[in-house]
Structures are given as C-alpha cells and as structure tokens.
Structure 1
Amino acid sequence: MDSQLLKVPTDKHISDSIHSTESVEIIICRIITVDGIEGTGFTYTIGNGGASIKAFLDCYVKKVIIGEDSGDINGIWNKIWWMSQPVGRGGITEHAIAAVDIALWDIKCLEAGKPLFWMLGGNGRPVKLYETNSGWLHYTQEELVESAKHVMKSGFYGFKIKVGKSIEEDMQRLKAVVDAVDGKISVMADANQAWQYPEGLRRSRMMENIGIAWIEEPFPADDIGAYQKLSINSGIPVAAGETIFTKYEFMRYIGAGISIAQPDVCRTGGITEWIQISSLCMANNVNIAPHFIMQLHAPLVSSIPEGIYVEYIPWMEKLFSEKPKIESGMIYPSMKPGTGVKFSRKALEEYNAEYI
C-alpha cells in the first residue's frame, strides 16, 4: 500500500457560510494484491488536513492491512475501524478508511471484470444531476440568476444556492432565482450549518412559501435536536449528511426526521459504510442525494432505488483519465471494470504536494 497527496485548484473562488477556498486536497491510496492487481482509492479535504490523513494511512493503516485478503472488505473495514477507535469514529480516520475501502472495491470489481454498479446490484441507469458550482455565497444576485438560467438551459434538474447572508438578502436572492427558472428546475438552499433553531425555523417557513425544494444543513451537524424540531415544525424537506461520518450518526438523523440524506462516500468510510447507510435510508423511506464526488456517486446512486440526485461539482474532472458521461442533465455510471475512477499520470505529477 502507498499513498499520495495532491493539492488541486478549484479553478474559481468558492465560498459558503463556513468555507472560503480556491483548492481541495486529494489523498490517494493504492493497494496491490499478490496477483498484481492494483486498486485505487481516494478521499479529499476542502483545502486543509490532507497531510494528517496521509500520515494516518502511512503510519497506522498500512501496518494493519498488509498481508490481509483483499476480498475480505468487511473484515478489513472493521479491523481499521476498531484500531482507530481511540482517536476516531469520524473525521480523519473515516477519511482514511474510505480511501482504503474504495481501493479494495476497485480491486474486487477488477478481479470480477465488472463495473461497480453491477457489483452493487444495479443496472447502470443514469441519474439526475443538480448543479452547485454556480451558486456560491459571494456571487451577486445578478450572477446567481444568470447561472440559474444557464444551468436550466444545460438540462440540469436542480440548482443549489448557498445562503448565510441577512434574511432579507438571502430571500431576495432565492426568490430572484425561483422566478427566473419559473418552476422548470428545482431550487435548493444550503446554509452550511449557519443558524440556530429559531432562525432556521423562521427562514425555512419563508423558503417554503416561495417553493424551495429543500433546506440543507441549517444547523451545526451535532445539533440533532434542532434538525428534529425543524423536521416536525416546517413543511420544507430537510437535507443533511455531508458532515456526518458513520451509519450510527445517520441512524440518529433519520430518527430525527430528515427527508434527504447526503452521505459522502469519501467521508463515511467508503463504499462499504455508504451501502449500509443507504440500506438504513431505504428502510425508513428517506431519499439519498449524496454530497460531491459525482464520478463515484454515479454508480452508487444508480444502484439504489432511493437515490434521487448526484451533485454536479466538476473540480476533480482534471484529475481523471476519463470524464463521466453527462447528457441532458443526467450522469451515467462507468461501464468499465472497477470503480470507474482512474487518475491520469499527468495529474498525479502536476498536483503532487509535499507537506512537512
């Protein structure tokens, strides 16, 4: 096993209520079996912390998995999970587990000669896309309206806007976009954990009145009680999950009444844990619209009945030897053996980062 850290520009400034950056970090994990089959996994950060994930992989995880049967994905997952308990159950450790787990699933698919969606029981159906990369908080109202019109003309099924300004300005911006698309595509609002409960309830009721499709992460991720109260007292669907890490956390959120779960395969310990989270959602009639990583979420969402959207954010496209097929606002899972995610040699060299 070896790992590599990349620093990748987003090609534009991005901002929401808690982030402001122009780059992301990608941590790659490569595993080679005794038969010479190489699997590639990865995870990411929004601009910092990647060196810590790489160090955890190199110093601790590598010792745990060397000599293990690559086909024992569940066993390896649990071995790393329990080894990391003193410092883990989320954050850096779940990111590291994800990189290993995705690499092991890549090996499993390559050995079988099948694409990931097939190995998960799917039929390769395309999935609807909604666009996030044009709705950042620092954009003017005019820029948001023009972006929404472009997204609509491009065939996407939804457009997500970052909120976190004053209530008056946020509502003006949202209403301007809703009016511009005139019901032809969905409009979502993402607060990125900006509010406390009273503010979130007030805003959600106003958003409901103008037809916002869902309100995402209105409260800090640890305040499950606020999510439960909002789910009960507001008619707008509540979405959450991009900043929670385990099936146990998702179980509590589902119990709190969220309508849309957003598990991120690179933050939830990889494909193995993501599948278990999707099973919880299916058993509780909760839809899934995962966060980011459209290349890998396409086959995952394609293989489950409760998957409704993949999020379009193209920051990572420059890293891969092949782009995903996107037509008429739909993304198609890769038909090639493996997870469908292959890094180009040029990108690995160009964006390689060394941190001390």
Structure 2
Amino acid sequence: MKISKIYIAKIENVSRENFPYAKPIDYYKGYLENLSPFKAAFMDNVCFLKLDTDSNISSIIETSEEACKIVTDYLKKIVEGLEISRINMIWDMLYRYTLPTGRTGVVMHAISAINLLLYDAYAKYLNIPVYELLGGKTRDSIRAYASHLHPTSKDKLEKEAISYIEEGYTAMKMRFCCGPSDPLGIDKNIELVKIIRDAVGYSVELYGDAWMSWNLNFALKIAKKLEKYELGWLEEPFLPDDFESYKYLVKKTDIPIAAGEHHYHVYDFKKLLDAGVRILQPDAIWVGGITAMKKIAGLAEAYGAIVVPHTSNIYNLHFIISEPENLAPMAEYLTKYRWLEDRVKNPLKPEKGYFKLWEKKGFGLEYYFETGGEAGTLPP
C-alpha cells in the first residue's frame, strides 16, 4: 500500500475561552495581553491534514495551519508514492531533509503529523488499533489526572478541585498565575496552592504548571515555600532551552521537576535527563510523532524516569497503553477544552478517573465531516 496523496481537507478558526495563567510573555502584557492558551501556542487556526492511499484507505490528523502548509508546500513531495509501512525510514528522511531549518518547532509539528497519518493508515490497513503496532496493551485502562484549575476566585477554585474528587480523580494539576514580572507573584501563587490543598487535602496528588514563565531566582524562592504543600511535580518552570536552570533547581528542591511539552526528539530529552529532570512530558502531535515518543520512552527507562505525555489526545493514549505502567503511568485530561480534537465525534473521556481505549482500527477517531472533505454538521 502506497501513499497516493497528502492534502489539506479543511482549515478553520476555532474560538476558545481565555483562561488566565502565567505565560513567558507576561513581561509584555502591554503588547500581548489576554491570549488564550491556543493563541499563546501560536495556533489561531486548526487544520485537518488528510492522507490517501492507493488502497482506498485514508487518514486525517488535526494540527496547526502552519504545520499543514509545511507539509503541503515542502514535505509531501518527499513521501507521496512511498510504501505506507516505511514509517521509520520516512521519519528519518524528513528529519534529515529539514535539518537546516527544522529540528524543533513547527517543522517538527509537520513531521509529527505525517508520522501519525502513517501509523493510522497502516493500522487501518492491517485492521488493528495503533497500539497493536506498538506492541499491544500493557493494561486495560490508563489512570487520568484532571488538568485545569486556572487561577480564578477562591470559591471557584475550591468548587472545581472538589468536583474532580467527586468524579473519581486521584490527581489534578493547577496553573500558576504569576512569574517574576509580578513583584507579588510568589505570594499570589502560594495562595492558589493553599486554596486547593485546603479543599482536597493531601491524599490527592497535586501538580503545578508554570508554563515556561519563571527564571531561576524566582523558582528557587518559590520552591522553598511550595515544599510543605507536597506537590507531585513542578512543571516547566523555565524556558525550554534553559537546561542549566533545570540542572540547578533539581538539586535545590525536594519537589520533582517535570518538563518536555515544548521539547523535541530524543536530543532535547537527553539534555533534560542529564539536567536531572525525571518526569518527561512529550506530545506526539509536536515531538515527532509516535516514532519519537517510543525513542524517548527507551531513553527515559535507561535513566529511571517516567513519561507522562502532554494532554490525552488519542495519539498519546495509544502510546501510553503500549508502555509498561511503571514507565508511562498516567495521562493528562484537559477538563475544560479539547486539545486538537475540535471536530472529533468520539473523543475519549475518562470514567471515574480512568481512560479505556476502544478496539477500533487505527487511532479510531471519527470526524464531523465526510472523509472526502465535504462539510457536514459540526459541533458548536
């Protein structure tokens, strides 16, 4: 079975609510204020990229408009006509082809999209779920943690945190409000943590996401004050390339440090591991697809680290369930918005704090438009 065509099936703007949280651009709020999580991630428009084969098997992946255009303008000419099963060869060829301008960022997003299309189409051809291509299930379900808790009022935070306990979650993640640009940022962040801890107690795992917004001095000061709240991890305190700050912080705090959402391929993750980070958070949509995820998993195992991917998109879930639970123990579930599953009919949701994967062929997603790209009834 060969790749016959890769093309854009649909591009659209999807409006999303703006949730407050600390961002690396907070120093420039006068110019870039009130960005939504997706706008801050440079994803105003979403794009549905489609792959057709000569066996009438197709696949659709949702990604950014920018990644789609890199695929259709530059990369598809490299892969059209190749055997669908040559997934590793195609990945390596595209990585080497894009080295002068790639390695990270939107170019790697584009390679990720092609990689996921190939896995989906090949698994459909074999009439099996993608996780069977990856070695099969290691368990029947995946533990999920509830991810949101953006900084709001005390009453709203308490109510939201308690609701996750009532829904069966045993872990949850909050967002911090502030970074070094706010002179009172440390105290404001600590108050948020205290509100949630007082609401749910200490038998629940609580994680905190700084989203690349701190510097080393700020992180060292706040980490000392956070330790008594027993955070399960402190996520992305620094800019992705600031490996020296990661290396210093992990030696100065008892709070485990997590990172990887904005890192790429095995080389970035080797640097994180060498800096002492032991909770890795790649996302198959960005990091290089399933091919890169599997390499990162092997690297993590050699360092005694765990892999907890960014978001519970279906691609990450297939990866997680194919890895031993001690290596990939859980999945993040964004409780208030979808992550690149905007037009999916059947997004997986956890029940009582656990995901259960279906046995549909490929990744198993169904979209709100015809496979030929014709518009159908879309959700709001």
Distance in 2, Cα, partners of 1:277 & 1:199 = 30
Q: Is 1:311 matched up with 2:311?
A: no
Distance in 2, Cα, partners of 1:31 & 1:81 = 19
**Of 7, 18, 21, which residue of structure 2 is paired with 1:13?**
18
Residue 208 of structure 2 corresponds to which residue in structure 1?
189
Q: Measure how far apart 1:13 and its partner are.
A: 2.0
What TM-score comes out, normalization by structure 2 length? 0.85
Distance in 2, Cα, partners of 1:351 & 1:185 = 40
Q: Is 1:90 matched up with 2:104?
A: yes
Residue 102 of structure 1 corresponds to which residue in structure 2?
116
Distance in 2, Cα, partners of 1:215 & 1:171 = 13
Residue 162 of structure 2 corresponds to which residue in structure 1?
149
Instruction: Name the SS of the counterpart of 2:286 in structure 1.
Output: coil
Instruction: Name the SS of the counterpart of 2:83 in structure 1.
Output: coil
Distance in 2, Cα, partners of 1:249 & 1:29 = 27
Q: Which runs of 5+ in 2 are unaligned?
A: 1-5, 24-33, 179-184
Residue 54 of structure 2 corresponds to which residue in structure 1?
34
- Does the 8 Å CA contact 2:46/2:62 hold for their aligned counterparts? yes
Q: Is 1:214 matched up with 2:233?
A: yes
Q: Is 1:228 matched up with 2:241?
A: no
Q: Measure how far apart 1:141 and its partner are.
A: 2.6
Q: Is 1:70 matched up with 2:76?
A: no
Cα distance change on mapping 1:86 and 1:118 into 2, 3 Å: same
- Does the 8 Å CA contact 2:290/2:315 hold for their aligned counterparts? no
Q: Measure how far apart 1:293 and its partner are.
A: 4.0
Give CA-to-partner distance per residue, 1:15-51, whole Å, 9 cap, x none.
322282175543322111211211223334xxxxx3x
Q: Which amino acid counterpart does residue 136 of structure 2 have in structure 1?
A: G
Give CA-to-partner distance per residue, 1:58-85, whole Å, 9 cap, x none.
1101111111111100111111111111
What TM-score comes out, normalization by structure 1 length? 0.90
Residue 79 of structure 1 corresponds to which residue in structure 2?
93
Cα distance change on mapping 1:269 and 1:28 into 2, 3 Å: farther
Q: Which amino acid counterpart does residue 149 of structure 1 have in structure 2?
A: I
Distance in 1, Cα, partners of 2:209 & 2:224 = 15
Correspondences of 1:46-61 after superposition (within 5 Å): 50=65, 52-61=66-75
RMSD: 2.1
Show structure 1 runs of 4+ deviating over 6 A: none
Distance in 1, Cα, partners of 2:300 & 2:290 = 15
- Identity rate, percent: 24
Correspondences of 1:276-287 after superposition (within 5 Å): 276-287=295-306
- Does the 8 Å CA contact 2:369/2:377 hold for their aligned counterparts? no
Q: Which has the larger displacement, 147-156 or 322-331? A: 322-331
Q: Measure how far apart 1:229 and its partner are.
A: 0.9
Q: Measure how far apart 1:6 and its partner are.
A: 3.2
Distance in 2, Cα, partners of 1:309 & 1:126 = 10
- Does the 8 Å CA contact 1:31/1:40 hold for their aligned counterparts? yes
Give CA-to-partner distance per residue, 1:265-321, whole Å, 9 cap, x none.
111111111111111111211111111243222221111121122111242555212
Q: Which amino acid counterpart does residue 147 of structure 1 have in structure 2?
A: E
Q: Which runs of 5+ in 1 are unaligned?
A: 45-49
Aligned length: 343
Correspondences of 1:261-340 after superposition (within 5 Å): 261-305=280-324, 306-313=327-334, 314-316=337-339, 318-340=342-364
